[in-house]
A = this chain, B = another copy of it.
Amino acid sequence: MQRTSSNIYCGGNTLIFMKARIKAGIVGGTGYTGAELLRLLAAHPQVEIKIITSRNEAGTAVADLFPGLRGHVTLKFSAPDEKALAACDVVFFATPNGTAMTQAPALIEAGVRVIDLAADFRLKDARLWQQWYGAPHACPELLKQAVYGLPELNRAAIKNARLIANPGCYPTSVTLGLLPLIEQGLVDEQHLIADAKSGVSGAGRKTETPLLLGEAGENFKAYAVPGHRHLPEICQSLEQAAGKKVGLTFVPHLVPMVRGIHATLYARLKDHSVDLQALYEKRYADEPFVDVLPKGAHPETKSVRGANVCRIAVHRPQGGDTAVILSVIDNLTKGAAGQAVQNMNLLFGLDERTGLDGIALMP
């Protein structure tokens, strides 16, 4: 397809459209990330979903698995079909870790753009990947050309990428929260603390005991304090911004709700005179999906539910030397499928906001 676009003016709305729609394929898509991707792509004015594959659900109508899609998606899950995927413009992997790295090379070879919503291409260092994911990487040679798809950090590279590693949910909220401080070298980057809280959908649609309503409902706990896979991913991005090693204590928690991440970030200021509010407002002034709240605000996860936005507030309690940054996203939207669509928009020269203007569901 041609990636030329043009604008027309219709009754007050400016429409950006393409001569042909983007042909999209999805591998996986039976989990929560897949469901959110389907919700966004089904409503995207420039996308046509051509195929969605699932070994387990082949033959099942997508709308039978996700009844909320009745009337919006008529596709059935197909058995894996390399040829059909290779005929797409873009293929999203909404699969468990370890799948995309076995299938992406052939697709890229065939000229398809690949966006992996799992972790296969997030870490640049194959040894580090093996250390945290417990298996050798299947195509370490692709790690170099993969672009980490955080537009606020890597927009230019994303536009020209062939393979995008869509960021993890915690890393999106933590990195966006710390980026302005780190880029400017304003804090002790050896002792950063990220106390992060996530709704259960962040763990996926896995039938594991701790994710039952009977367990996770009316309950709150930390988990993986000794080490969580998102730790090296966050550090990698912060180190890219800092130009040096960083030290981070990252503690994730499980919140008795479905969607939403709240990251509470602590950093020791080197320079007490900096105007944090101005710093953040300036850093994100042109970002369509980062919203810096007014001074003194406390963002809530509900304000971003279903919306592709990160809302951030900046505090310095009692005027002390500890900056406290509050950062919220919907883990399935800006933290996964929404960001993937944002990356797709960049890849195909669309307005970055196309199909991503949904307003958060409140209450």
Binding site for B on A (CB under 8 A): 8, 10-13, 15, 17-19, 21, 32, 35-36, 39, 42-43, 45-46, 66-72, 191, 193, 195, 197, 199-201, 205, 207-209, 211-223, 225-227, 247, 249-251, 253, 255-260, 262, 264, 266, 268, 291, 293, 296, 298-307, 309, 311, 315, 317-318, 320, 322, 324, 326, 328, 332, 357-363
Q: How far is the CB of A131 from the nearest CB of chain B, in Å?
A: 12
Instruction: Name the one of B256, B257, B299 contacting A67, with C-beta atoms under 8 angstroms.
Output: B299
Nearest-Cβ distance from residue A114 to partner chain B, whole angstroms: 25
Chain B nearest CB, measured from A179 CB (Å): 19
Contact of A205 among B209, B223, B322 (CB under 8 A): B209
Q: Is the CB of A15 within 8 A of B11?
A: yes
* A68 in contact with B362 (CB, 8 Å): yes
Partner of A71, one of B291, B296, B322: B291
Question: With A13-B45, A43-B357, A249-B317 known to touch, is A218 a contact of B257 (CB < 8 Å)?
Answer: yes
| A68 contact from B35, B298, B302, Cβ within 8 A | B302
Give the number of copies in the complex: 4
Q: Is the CB of A43 within 8 A of B324?
A: no
Contacts A35-B363, A71-B291 known; 11 new A-B pairs at CB < 8 A? A67-B293, A197-B253, A205-B212, A205-B363, A207-B208, A219-B301, A222-B264, A226-B315, A250-B317, A266-B266, A306-B306
Are B326 and A225 touching (Cβ within 8 A)? yes
Which B residues lie within 8 Å of A298 (CB)?
A: 221-223, 225
Contact across chains for B35 and A262 when beta carbons are under 8 A apart: no
- Can you list 9 A-B contacts with CB-CB less than 8 angstroms, sorted by A residue number? A12-B21, A43-B357, A205-B209, A213-B213, A221-B299, A251-B317, A256-B256, A358-B358, A361-B361
